Structure 1
Amino acid sequence: MTTTPDRLGPEQLKTLFLFEALGDKQLAWLAEQGSVERTPAGSDVYCEGEPATCFYILLSGTVAMTRLLHGDQVEVNRTDQRGVYAGATQAYLGDRVEQVYPNSLRAITDCEFFVVPAGEFAGAMHRWFPMAVHLLEGLFFGVRQQNTIMGERERLLALGSLSAGLTHELNNPAAAAVRATSALRDRVAGMRHKLALIADGRLDTRQLHELVELQDAAIKRLASAPELSALQASDAEDELTDWLEDHGVNGSWELAPTLIAGGVDVEWLGTVVETVGEDRLEASVRWLSYTLDTELLMGEIDDAVTRISGLVGAAKQYSQLDRAPQQTVDVHALLDATLTMLHAKIPGGVRVVKEYDRTLPQIQAYGAELNQVWTNLIVNSLDAMAGSGTLSIRTQWDGTERLLVEIGDTGAGIPDEIRPRIFEPFFTTKPVGEGTGLGLDISYRIVVNKHHGDIRVESTPGDTRFTVCLPVALSHPGDASVPD
């Protein structure tokens, strides 16, 4: 910017609508503090994010105000109206907020401004309009507090929904483990009883050892038992039932399913007959059936406990409760944890497709808050698909120092007329009571303000994709909470 030390007199300042109600002493003070500065066409007056040092009033020319949005400078206003103002508009708040320019101002034509240093202008506001300043301060901090409360409510609602889903997911394997444990207790008692009948003195040592070896062999057959279709299993059970009935085994229809599940067939049962004889066959078969049933039940318990452990691990990964707020994270682990937490919310008609680039490095990030981003984007995608479609999650390298996480859906898409507003706080297309309009706003602030990344959206009917760009390393430490 090029400047000249020109000044305006009190009478000239009075022609500006912002100062027309000021008294002579106030106008004289402004004339002494401010100066006239000129900016040639095509030059920046100030840039977004720079320290806000001056308050600008347009005297002549045309200016354009822009905001940085998803990596692009978006023009939000263009005017040639004399007296419009910009720059350090929040200087009256002092050091209670970070004093930076909230936008960029560019001269479209040669422009002339009346410029007042931010500190002097703020002091004048407090001296001349104390009640107005109090009202403005209350409005500013009230809105910020409201945003914080609504943001917390959004997070709590999401957490409550996820907790309900997690409870449901945990209940199924827990109930399965309880049922299997109860059945296992009965089977072990029955096995002890049958063993007493077999070994009541009528089996010699050799036969008892052979029966134990058959038991071990049955367990091995169970481990390698082929997966049978429903029709194959039914046919095999009918054949085995007939064989058992022919050999005088009572309740053969009850034993056959367990024996078939354990890989036992007619030929193998022939070796049992050779070992224990026909008179002890039923007790031996029931004992072997208890053995197989016990192994199957222990397998169910193992699967259930493994599932519970996996869910607890996913919840731990999702919440990052045992981690520092900022740490080195694997985005794939975060995405998988989020999908696990959201499993109960994913309809049966939605297919989840994951395309992960496993060569991507780990990054410095706030893991729990990134999980909140994934949650917001995935839930929005599920809502857009209304129960059926494809949810796609892709990761890739952008060729520089950032990795990309793309979350896409095959929903109806985002209309062009509302796409520029989707990141605005409290903007939502959902019915009243079903959405706060803060999900994408919170996601944007987490990605952009806290991680110094970017979040973009491309949408056509049947193909909507949100792309989150994250730097590998945080260049500046973030705050403990998402900035306003």
Structure 2
Amino acid sequence: MTAATPAPGESREALTPDELRTLFLFEALDDDQLAWLAGRGRVETRQARTHVYSQGEDATCFFVLLSGTVALSRQLHGDDIELMRSDQKGAYAGATQAYLGDRVDQAYPNTMRAVTDAEFFVLPAAEFATAIRTWFPMALHLLEGLFFGLRASDIIVGERERLVALGSLTAGLTHELNNPAAAAVRATDTLRDRVAHMRRKLALIADGRVDGKRLHELVEVQDAAVRCARDARKLTAIEAADAEDELGDWLADAGVENAWDIAPTFVAGGIDADWLAEATAELSDDNRRAAVGWLNYTVDTELLMGEIGDAVSRISGLVDAARQYSQLDRAAQQRVDIHELLDATLVMLKAKIPAGVRVVKEYQPELPLVPAYGAELNQVWTNLIDNALAAMDGTGTLTLATWYEADHVYVEVRDTGAGIDPEIRPRIFEPFFSTKPVGQGTGLGLDISYRIVVNKHGGDIRVDSRPGDTRFRVCLPMVRPSADEPL
């Protein structure tokens, strides 16, 4: 090679066979093969922050890195996702599938950028394909079978994994939605019955035995009862039992039927014996009993409407959590509230959290917003929490902690399970590695989490584990490096 640096994209003298042999990709080739490559390849340079090639363009060249740093990225739904960076001499990319010919779309599957000034050995795609077909016929058949076989299996497995993940989340969400929805249905049916009884009680009071002025006063009493029910304080079990006993005695003395059945309704609505005695003081015994029944249905109706309102609010909250979890209405990358993402993930996984597992939140107040891809981070939290639950085997404490330090936000997922065996700890972030039995888990969770945190967010994820205390710590930078700057 000469010392002179040509203009961007300009070719200069080719590498010699001996220089090609220093690249790991070509080190096993014989002299004739190296000479053939040297005669057909060229050396090109690219300046920092320029494209070597772009995704979707015709794949015309095979690139081998000689010096500098490059980054590979892909566009996905308008979002530029960085796949990797490398400064390793001999790293290659470009028309790597040229040997498959027209059986696959010969376009660059990603974009390569020169992060720093970079130099490449460039081989035309047609020449690269010829070399593979001519020199490695057996390897060609193996590569073809591997490529098409993996592509077919990836489609099948990918679809299955998406269905399993969707089914798991859907099952959890429908389980959570079922409780408030069923409560709302039950309360609505009971409310319909109570309103019918209240109309009959009103007829008993207003059949002519109570004058208009007194009826107006009873309506005011009804309004007061509604306000009491709306503002009633939640009593402890002992307080409620004592209040029901006292009110039940008063109702029984007043000749009210089913005194002990209706006393709990009044107590739940914040109404005691003194309140009822004052409200019905000027009524005859018959009218007092009718008025008490009417007020009971009034309070019961208000409590049922409150129950329906709570159920609908819970449903709305679950739907909001699902939207927050999926981030479907958000831009791909934006400043996100980490606490909102963690809480949404907990809601989605609530059905999977055993009764014997206690969830503790140690959130730092006023945690800064983080520039991130919210949906991907939720996948990280899902994987880490799911692994923590599996490690505890139904009993223990799951702790989610957050804090801010030195322009980084930290999230820690802790569990009190058996811990990770030191012998396998170095492998936990490897693709497809799993300690779970066959059929349980995919071995993809921690690998995906690592790539999302490290490659996509420029952060870090580490683990510290001992029996009874395993901690996965995620570090996210407050300022993302640009796509053309080293991480």
TM-score (norm: length of structure 1): 0.76
2:197 to 190, 193, 203: 190
Matched residue, 1:432:
438
Distance 1:468 1:134 in 2: 43
Aligned residue for 1:467? 473
Q: Distance in 1 between matches of 2:168 and 2:19?
A: 63
Q: How far did residue 89 of structure 1 move?
A: 8.6
Partner Cα separation in structure 2 for residue 256 and residue 210 of structure 1: 23
Question: Which of 323, 328, 333 does residue 335 from structure 2 map onto?
Answer: 328
Query: Which whole-Å CA distance do the structure 1 matches of 2:414 and 2:315 have between them?
Result: 29
CA distance in 1, matches of 2:35, 2:296: 103
The percentage of aligned residue pairs carrying the same residue is: 60
CA change 1:142–1:467 in 2 (3 A) is farther
Cα distance in 1 for partners of 2:145, 2:425 equals: 32
2:185 is aligned, of 178, 186, 191, to 178
What stretches of structure 1 of length at least 5 have no aligned partner?
A: 11-15, 35-49, 57-84, 102-114, 479-484
Given the superposition, is the C-alpha separation of residues 99 and 146 from structure 1 closer, same or farther in structure 2, using an over 3 Å criterion?
farther
Q: Partners in 2 of 1:117 and 1:473 — Cα distance?
A: 35
Q: Which residue of 1 aligns with 2:173?
A: 166
Instruction: Kindly report the root-mean-square deviation, in angstroms, between the aligned alpha carbons of the 2 structures.
Output: 3.7
Match of 1:202, SS? coil
2:282 corresponds to 1:271: no
Residue 19 of structure 1 is matched in structure 2 by 29
What is the deviation of 1:404?
1.7
Q: What secondary structure, in the 3-state scheme, does the structure 2 residue paired with 1:275 have? A: coil
* C-alpha separation in 2, matches of 1:236 and 1:243: 11
Task: Name the SS of the counterpart of 1:324 in structure 2.
Answer: coil
Residues in 2 aligned to 1:436 and 1:255: alpha-carbon distance in whole angstroms = 56
Partner of 2:244: 237
Structure 1 residue identity aligned to 2:123: G
Question: Deviation at 1:369?
Answer: 1.7
Segment of structure 1 superposing worse, 304-313 or 350-359 = 350-359
Secondary structure, in 3 states, of the residue corresponding to 1:282? helix
1:296 aligns with 2:306: no
Structure 1 residue 276: Cα displacement: 2.0
The answer to whether the Cα contact below 8 Å between 2:16 and 2:38 also exists between their aligned partners in 1 is: no
Paired letter, 1:315 = A
Mapped to 2, the partners of 1:9 and 1:246 lie a distance apart of 108
Partner amino acid, structure 1, of 2:405? D
CA contact (8 A) 1:9 1:28 kept: no
Q: Describe the shift of the 1:474–1:213 C-alpha distance in structure 2 as closer, same or farther (beyond 3 A).
A: same
- What is the aligned counterpart of 1:362 among 348, 369, 377? 369
Equivalent-residue separation in structure 2 for 1:151 and 1:348 (angstroms)? 32
When residues 127 and 172 of structure 1 are mapped into structure 2, their CA distance, relative to the original with a 3 A threshold, is closer
Matched residue SS, 2:329: coil
Supply the distance in 2 between the matched residues of 1:454 and 1:396 (Cα, whole angstroms): 15
- In the superposition, the TM-score normalised over structure 2's length comes to 0.75
Within-5 A mapping of 1:2-17 = 8=18
1:60-100 residue CA offsets vs partner (Å, 9 max, x unmatched): xxxxxxxxxxxxxxxxxxxxxxxxx9644987447745698
Cα distance in 1 for residues equivalent to 2:38 and 2:222: 103
CA distance in 2, matches of 1:261, 1:184: 16
2:16–2:35: 8 Å Cα contact kept in structure 1? no
Structure 1 residue corresponding to 2:460, chosen from 434, 454, 460: 454
Counterpart contact for 1:412–1:461, Cα < 8 Å:
yes
Give the Cα separation in 2 of the matches to 1:324 and 1:17. 47
| 1:343, distance to aligned residue in structure 2 (A) | 0.8
- CA displacement at 1:17 relative to structure 2: 8.1
User: Partner of 1:209: helix, strand, or coil?
Assistant: helix
Deviations 1:403-431 (A, max 9, x none): 22211111111111111111111111111
Which of 374, 379, 385 pairs up with 2:386? 379
The alignment status of 1:417 with 2:423, answered yes or no, reads yes
State whether structure 2 residue 121 is matched by structure 1 residue 117. yes
1:301-352 deviation digits (Å, cap 9, x = unpaired)? 0110000000011011111222233333212111111111111111111111
Residue of structure 2 equivalent to 1:403: 409
1:282 aligns with 2:289: yes
Instruction: Give distance in 2, aligned partners of 1:415 and 1:2.
Output: 53
On the 8 A contact 1:207/1:275 being kept in 2, the answer is: no
Aligned length: 416
How has the CA–CA distance of structure 1 residues 418 and 86 changed in structure 2, closer, same or farther, with 3 Å as cutoff? farther
**1:245 Cα offset (Å):** 2.1
* Counterpart Cα distance in 2 of 1:420 and 1:212: 74
Please list the CA deviations of residues 135-170 of structure 1 after superposition, one character each: whole Å capped at 9, or x if unmatched.
436535754775575455334322211110111110
- One-letter amino acid of the structure 1 residue matched with residue 269 of structure 2: G
Question: How far apart in 2 are the matches of 1:31 and 1:233?
Answer: 91
Cα pair 2:380 2:449 within 8 Å, conserved = yes
1 CA distance for matches of 2:263 and 2:361? 41
